[in-house]
A and B are shown apart, each in its own frame.
Chain A
Amino acid sequence: MKLMEGSEAIAEASIAAGCRFFAGYPMTPFTELLEHFAKRLPEEHGVCINAESELEAVGMAWGALATGARAATGSTGQGLSLMQESFSEITLAELPLVIFNMARGQQDYFQSTRGGGHGDYRHIVLAPMDIGEAVELTQLAFHLADKWRTPVLVYGDYLLAHVQEAVDITPVAFPDLPPKEWALDGTKTGTGASRIVSPLGFDKAGRPSEGIENHLRAIVEKQERIAAEEVRVESGFTDDAETVIVAFGPPGKFVKYVVQQLRAEGEKIGYVRPITLWPFPTDAVAEASEDTARVGVFEICAGQMIDDVRLSVLGRAPVTFIGGISTDGSGFGVGPLLDVELIRERILALHHDEPMPALPHNERQF
Chain B
Amino acid sequence: MTSVEMRQVGHKLPELLLTQEHHMCPGCGEPLALRGYLEAISELGLSDRTIGVAGIGCYTSFSMSMDIDLVQALHGRAPSVATGVKRMRPDSIVFTIQGDGDMVNEGLQEVLHTAARGENVTCILLNNGVFGETGGHMTATSVIGQRTKNSLDGRDAAYHGYPILIGDLIAQLQGAAYVARGSVHNAGAVARTKRMFKRAFQAQERGEGFTFVEVLTMCPTGWFIPTLDGPEYMNDTLGEVHIMGELKVDGVVRSTEELHEENVRKAAEMEHALARGGIDDHHD
**Contacting residues, chain B, for A66 (C-beta < 8 A):** 71, 81, 84-85
Contact A186 B80 (CB under 8 A): no
> Using a CB-CB cutoff of 8 Å, which residues 61-115 of chain B contact chain A?
63-74, 77, 79-89, 92-93, 109-110, 113
Closest to B78 in A: A59
Size class of the B contact interface (CB-based, 8 Å): 35 or more
Q: Is B204 an interface residue (CB 8 A)?
A: no
> Using a CB-CB cutoff of 8 Å, which residues 36-57 of chain A contact chain B?
47, 49, 51-53, 55-57
**Number of residue pairs spanning A and B whose beta carbons lie under 8 angstroms apart:** 162
Q: Is B50 an interface residue (CB 8 A)?
A: yes
Contact B71 A205 (CB under 8 A): no
Contact A190 B87 (CB under 8 A): no
Q: Is B205 an interface residue (CB 8 A)?
A: no
Closest to B83 in A: A60
Rounded to whole angstroms, the CA-CA distance of A170 and B201 in the bound complex is: 45
Contact A185 B73 (CB under 8 A): no
Contact B109 A52 (CB under 8 A): yes
Contact B84 A23 (CB under 8 A): yes
**Contacting residues, chain A, for B15 (C-beta < 8 A):** 190
Q: How many residues of A contact B (CB 8 A)?
A: 49
Contact B89 A185 (CB under 8 A): yes
**Contacting residues, chain B, for A61 (C-beta < 8 A):** 84
Write the A178-203 contact mask toward B (1 if CB under 8 angstroms, else 0).
00000011111111101111111011
Contact A194 B81 (CB under 8 A): no
Rounded to whole angstroms, the CA-CA distance of A190 and B77 in the bound complex is: 25
A60's partner among B51, B63, B81, B109 (CB-CB below 8 A) is: B81
Rounded to whole angstroms, the CA-CA distance of A223 and B262 in the bound complex is: 58
The smallest beta-carbon distance between A151 and chain B, in angstroms, is 15
Of listed A56, A69, A189, residue having the most chain B CB within 10 A: A189
**Contacting residues, chain B, for A209 (C-beta < 8 A):** 64
**Contacting residues, chain A, for B87 (C-beta < 8 A):** 21, 47, 49, 60, 63-64
Contact B71 A184 (CB under 8 A): yes
Interface-side segment among B41-49, B125-133, B239-247: B41-49
**Contacting residues, chain A, for B88 (C-beta < 8 A):** 20-21, 47, 63-64, 67, 69, 71
Contact B67 A63 (CB under 8 A): no
**Contacting residues, chain A, for B113 (C-beta < 8 A):** 52-53, 56
Rounded to whole angstroms, the CA-CA distance of A61 and B77 in the bound complex is: 12
Q: Is B18 an interface residue (CB 8 A)?
A: yes
Contact B48 A59 (CB under 8 A): no
A67's partner among B19, B49, B72, B89 (CB-CB below 8 A) is: B89
**Contacting residues, chain B, for A55 (C-beta < 8 A):** 77, 80, 109-110
Q: A60-B80, A85-B74, A86-B77 are in contact. Are A67 and B85 (CB under 8 A)?
A: yes
Closest to B19 in A: A205
Of listed A52, A194, A200, A202, residue having the most chain B CB within 10 A: A194
Q: A186-B89, A187-B49 are in contact. Are A192 and B67 (CB under 8 A)?
A: yes
A59's partner among B49, B84, B89 (CB-CB below 8 A) is: B84
Contact B49 A62 (CB under 8 A): no
A86's partner among B16, B74, B79, B82 (CB-CB below 8 A) is: B74
**Contacting residues, chain B, for A85 (C-beta < 8 A):** 74
Rounded to whole angstroms, the CA-CA distance of A43 and B220 in the bound complex is: 53
Of listed B18, B72, B88, B89, residue having the most chain A CB within 10 A: B88
Rounded to whole angstroms, the CA-CA distance of A299 and B174 in the bound complex is: 50
Q: Is A89 an interface residue (CB 8 A)?
A: yes
**Contacting residues, chain A, for B66 (C-beta < 8 A):** 194
Rounded to whole angstroms, the CA-CA distance of A86 and B78 in the bound complex is: 12
Rounded to whole angstroms, the CA-CA distance of A96 and B109 in the bound complex is: 26
Of listed A23, A187, A190, residue having the most chain B CB within 10 A: A190
Contact B18 A186 (CB under 8 A): no
Q: Is A160 an interface residue (CB 8 A)?
A: no
Q: A21-B87, A52-B109, A185-B92 are in contact. Are A204 and B64 (CB under 8 A)?
A: yes
Rounded to whole angstroms, the CA-CA distance of A93 and B88 in the bound complex is: 19
Rounded to whole angstroms, the CA-CA distance of A204 and B54 in the bound complex is: 13
Contact B72 A197 (CB under 8 A): yes
Q: Is B53 an interface residue (CB 8 A)?
A: yes
Rounded to whole angstroms, the CA-CA distance of A49 and B87 in the bound complex is: 9
Of listed B16, B48, B49, B67, residue having the most chain A CB within 10 A: B67
B81's partner among A20, A62, A195, A206 (CB-CB below 8 A) is: A62
Contact A194 B63 (CB under 8 A): no
Rounded to whole angstroms, the CA-CA distance of A204 and B21 in the bound complex is: 13
Closest to B16 in A: A190
**Contacting residues, chain B, for A195 (C-beta < 8 A):** 69-70
**Contacting residues, chain B, for A63 (C-beta < 8 A):** 53, 71, 80-88
Q: A184-B51, A202-B64 are in contact. Are A62 and B84 (CB under 8 A)?
A: yes
Q: Is A295 an interface residue (CB 8 A)?
A: no
Query: Can you list 11 pairs linking A and B with CB atoms under 8 Å apart?
Result: A49-B83, A53-B109, A56-B79, A59-B84, A63-B87, A66-B71, A66-B85, A86-B77, A188-B69, A190-B48, A196-B70
Q: Which 5 A-B pairs have the closest CB atoms?
A: A63-B84, A59-B80, A190-B47, A198-B72, A64-B84
Task: List the interface of chain A (C-beta within 8 A of B).
Answer: 20-21, 23, 47, 49, 51-53, 55-67, 69, 71, 85-86, 89, 93, 184-192, 194-200, 202-206, 209
Q: For the A-B complex with A186-B69, A190-B48 known, give 9 more contacts whose Cβ atoms are closer than 8 Å.
A: A47-B87, A49-B83, A62-B73, A62-B77, A63-B87, A64-B84, A71-B88, A189-B51, A194-B66
